[in-house]
Each structure stands twice: as C-alpha cells, then as structure tokens.
C-alpha cells in the first residue's frame, strides 16, 4: 500500500490568479501560476516596465536571540554576524559533505534578529538543517525550534522568546505571510504610488540594493526588501496573509498606466536565466559544492567552523564547473542535453532557453574544467542535432545602472 501524495498547497492569492486567467503548475509542492497571457509578453514587461509575481511559496524563518548572529555564522556558509541592521545577504545552507542544501537570502531585522528566506521545495530541509545545527551547536536548554505560533505580530517585530528557551529561537513563519515581488524599471514609481502603502523606515529613493525598509499597508505591517530574482531592480514585499490580496489588487491598479502586468513562473525562469542566477535543482544541489557553481565567494572560508567546512576540500579536482553558453539560431539547449567538445561528452545543460531579451539561445551547463575557458567552442546535442555554442561569462544580461 502506498501513501497518497498530498495535494499541492495554494497561495493566499490563488483566487486572484484564477480570476486573471492564470495557468498553474506544481512547483515545490505549491500550485502556482506559470503564466497569465504569454511567457514572452510577461518577460518583456519586466525588462521594459514592471511585473508582479506571487512568490508566497517561498519559506520564511525567524532567528532571534543574543546568539542568533553566531548561530547563523555556524549554520550558513557566509558571515552574517558582520551584516548591519537593515541589510540583506545571499548565503548557502550546506550539508556536512559541502554540498548545497539550499540557497537563501538573510535579512538582519535587529541586533539579535534575522529573517531567512529559502526555497519552497527546501523548506523541510532547511528546517532540519537549523534543528540539527541547534542540537550540535547549543545545549538543548539554550535552543528552541518554533512554528508560526511563535511568530511576531508584525513583519518587522522581533518575536518574543519562547519561555525557557534561552539564547536562541528559530521559528518557521511561512504560513503567516505572503510574498509579492514587484520587479522592473517602473517598480519604484509603482510602489510609491500604490494606495495604502506607507514607507515608515528608509525612504525608497534612499534604499540600497540588498537592503530592506519598514512600511505599512492599510495598517498592516509591510516588509519591503530591495531584492529580486529577475536581473531588474525592484522589491519583494512580505505582508500578513490576510492583507495579501488587497495589496496585490492595489499594486496592479497603481501600475495599470505604467505597463505593470501579473507574471508567472515561466517568465521568472527566463528572467533569472538571462541574469545568470542559479535555480535549486538545476544549478544547485547536494551533489554540488559552491565553487563548482561559481559561488565560492559566498563562503567565508576563514571562519573557524561552520557546517560543511570540512567537506568543501574533499571533492575531486576535476569536478565539473558551471559556465554560460551562447548559440546562434533559434534552437535552445534544455536541461539534461549533452554538451560536447569534439566527439567527447564534457558536460550537461542545467537550464536553457531562447533568450527573449537577447534574441538568441542561452544556457547554463556544468562542463569539465578543461572545457570551461571563456571562448571555448563546444556543441550542444539538441535532439540529435549538434548546435555550436561558445562558453561565455555570466550573466548573459545586466541591467543598466
């Protein structure tokens, strides 16, 4: 007898997506919109004006207490203790082997409080990594793992420590909040003019990249981060689930005359590919160490100890490395397609598409180090046809400053 798989979860905005005519797909255990009209139109809207994405499938964890910064230095690959309040940092959760459990963004919300956002499909894996690290790094009396019941009442308030938990509290607050991404060159103007939105912290025109500010929407707390996954400027907005629909509606209305459109996961994927941003399950996995994926800079190797440090030096010297590939024509290499150098298979595509912005195929691939130099001529086996491709630097696309 086999267990029946649980049905995919739905976003707090699901009814809005249905009303807008979205098509859906199962992504990380969530039923999420893949497109509303066309992938190309949604992609171009983000590059030229703005797009609105529901990213409520992402997972959120609060880490609080006097030892929160030191704990994150231990459980994550980067050094979080030096980050200033109001800033954000990209980091990695590693396995003891040095492989990547997930990539995350960490926001410092106070001297002793942090918000960690992870990928939907890795929510349980990240929670388990935090729990294991707590058990090995702290005495049991000093650590607590919580749930949404331990969450703060506002998006910027530090949770009250659970009685008797001592110096560290980790709380999964995913179910308490929705996340909405507003991305594109018109994003700031749209957010500034969205009815009901008030910025109570750093003004938007002073907010740096990878930073956050406090706000409110119709008296609900609003966490505004200048981050994204599209290669464009923009914001990711965290709000209590009860107010998510009203914020979505207000933002769409405010952007109606600025070219704003709702966008699905298909456009998000081609946008992040053009920007050279890795996707877990494609460029990142437990079988991949950070240096292979071009993320060695994320690891603070000078830290005395952290989860995965010992494993980072145990991989083979000839392990494949991530590269960018560009081709002519219209036929794109897709995930799983072989990459060849002469008659030898030297790697495999992890993500690929015909770039809507650049007008030619682009791909990311893991290839043998000997075939990874920029300018190396390779071929991609596209359903039996060899398509010439050239190794190029990432990203493929970079927005104007």
Q: pLDDT tier at 152 (50, 70, 90 boundaries)? A: very low
| Domains observed in the chain | 8-315 (3.30.1360.120), 317-395 (2.40.30.110)
Answer yes or no: is pLDDT of 141 > 50.
Answer: no
Q: What Å distances lie between residue 320 and 202, 204, 292, CA to CA?
A: 43, 41, 7
DSSP string covering 9-71, please?
Answer: EE-TTHHHHHHTT-EEEEETTEEEEEESS-HHHHHHHHHHSEEEEE-TTSEEEEEESTTHHHH
Average pLDDT, the chain: 92
According to the model, what pLDDT value does residue 163 have? 34
d(CA 356, CA 169): 45
CA 42 to chain centroid: 19
DSSP 8-state assignment for residue 284 = B
Give yes or no for a contact between 356 and 339, defined as CB atoms under 8 angstroms apart: no
Answer yes or no: is pLDDT of 338 > 60.
Answer: yes
According to the model, what pLDDT value does residue 186 have? 98
Q: What Å distances lie between residue 56 and 237, 286, 299, 344, CA to CA?
A: 10, 24, 28, 43
Q: pLDDT tier at 5 (50, 70, 90 boundaries)? A: confident
According to the model, what pLDDT value does residue 166 have? 55
According to the model, what pLDDT value does residue 2 have? 59
Give yes or no for a contact between 214 and 200, defined as CB atoms under 8 angstroms apart: yes
CB atoms within 10 A of CB 166: 17
**Using alpha carbons only, how large is the chain's radius of gyration in Å?**
21
Q: pLDDT tier at 400 (50, 70, 90 boundaries)? A: confident
Provide the greatest CA pair distance for the chain. 65
According to the model, what pLDDT value does residue 358 have? 97
Q: For the ranges 105-109, 140-144, 206-210, which has the lowest average pLDDT?
A: 140-144
According to the model, what pLDDT value does residue 139 have? 59
Q: For the ranges 133-142, 180-189, 198-207, 300-309, which has the lowest average pLDDT?
A: 133-142
> Among residues 216, 351, 354, which one has the least CA distance to residue 285?
351
Give the pLDDT confidence of 228-260 residue by residue, as tens digits. 999 999 999 999 999 999 999 999 999 999 999
Mean pLDDT of 356-366: 98
According to the model, what pLDDT value does residue 127 have? 97
Mean pLDDT of 141-164: 42
Give the pLDDT confidence of 39-54 residue by residue, as tens digits. 999 999 999 999 999 9
Q: pLDDT tier at 221 (50, 70, 90 boundaries)? A: very high
HSE on the CB side for 181, CA within 13 Å? 23
Q: What angle do CA 211, 212, 217 make, to 5 degrees?
A: 155
Give the pLDDT confidence of 178-204 residue by residue, as tens digits. 999 999 999 999 999 999 999 999 999
Strand-pair partners of 199: 215
Give yes or no for a contact between 54 and 37, defined as CB atoms under 8 angstroms apart: no
Q: pLDDT tier at 137 (50, 70, 90 boundaries)? A: confident
d(CA 225, CA 177): 14
Q: pLDDT tier at 299 (50, 70, 90 boundaries)? A: very high
């Amino acid at each position: 007898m086999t267990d029946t798989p649980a049905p995919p979860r739905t976003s707090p905005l699901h009814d809005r997506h249905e009303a807008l005519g979205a098509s859906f797909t199962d992504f990380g255990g969530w039923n999420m919109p893949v497109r509303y009209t066309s992938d190309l139109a949604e992609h171009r809207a983000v590059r030229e004006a703005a797009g609105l994405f529901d990213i409520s499938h992402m997972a959120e964890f609060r880490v609080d207490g006097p030892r929160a910064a030191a704990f994150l230095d231990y459980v994550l690959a980067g050094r979080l203790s030096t980050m200033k309040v109001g800033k954000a940092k990209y980091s990695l959760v590693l396995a003891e082997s040095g492989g990547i459990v997930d990539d995350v963004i960490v926001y410092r919300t106070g001297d002793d409080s942090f918000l960690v956002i992870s990928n939907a499909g890795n929510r349980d894996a990240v929670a388990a990594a935090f729990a294991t690290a707590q058990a090995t790094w702290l005495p049991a009396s000093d650590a607590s793992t919580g749930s949404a019941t331990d969450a703060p009442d506002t998006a910027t308030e530090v949770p009250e420590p659970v009685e008797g938990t001592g110096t560290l509290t980790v709380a999964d607050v995913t179910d308490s909040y929705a996340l909405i991404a507003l991305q594109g060159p018109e994003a700031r103007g749209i957010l500034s003019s969205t009815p009901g939105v008030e910025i109570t912290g750093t003004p938007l025109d002073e907010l740096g990249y990878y930073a956050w500010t406090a706000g409110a929407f119709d008296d609900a707390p609003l966490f505004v981060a200048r981050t994204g996954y599209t290669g464009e400027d923009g914001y990711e907005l965290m709000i209590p689930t009860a107010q998510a629909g009203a914020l979505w509606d207000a933002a769409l209305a405010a952007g109606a005359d600025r070219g704003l459109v709702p966008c699905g996961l298909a456009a998000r994927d081609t946008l992040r590919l053009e920007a050279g941003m890795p996707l877990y399950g494609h460029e990142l996995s437990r079988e991949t160490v950070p240096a292979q994926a071009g993320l060695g800079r994320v690891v603070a190797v000078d830290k005395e100890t952290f989860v995965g440090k010992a494993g980072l030096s145990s991989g083979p010297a000839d392990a494949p490395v991530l590269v960018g590939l560009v081709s002519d024509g219209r036929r794109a290499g897709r995930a799983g397609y072989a990459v060849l150098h002469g008659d030898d298979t030297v790697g495999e595509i992890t993500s690929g598409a015909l770039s809507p912005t650049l007008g030619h195929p682009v791909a990311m691939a893991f290839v043998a180090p000997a075939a990874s130099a920029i300018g190396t001529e390779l071929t991609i086996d596209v359903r039996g046809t060899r398509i010439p491709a050239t190794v190029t630097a990432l990203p493929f696309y970079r927005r104007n400053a």
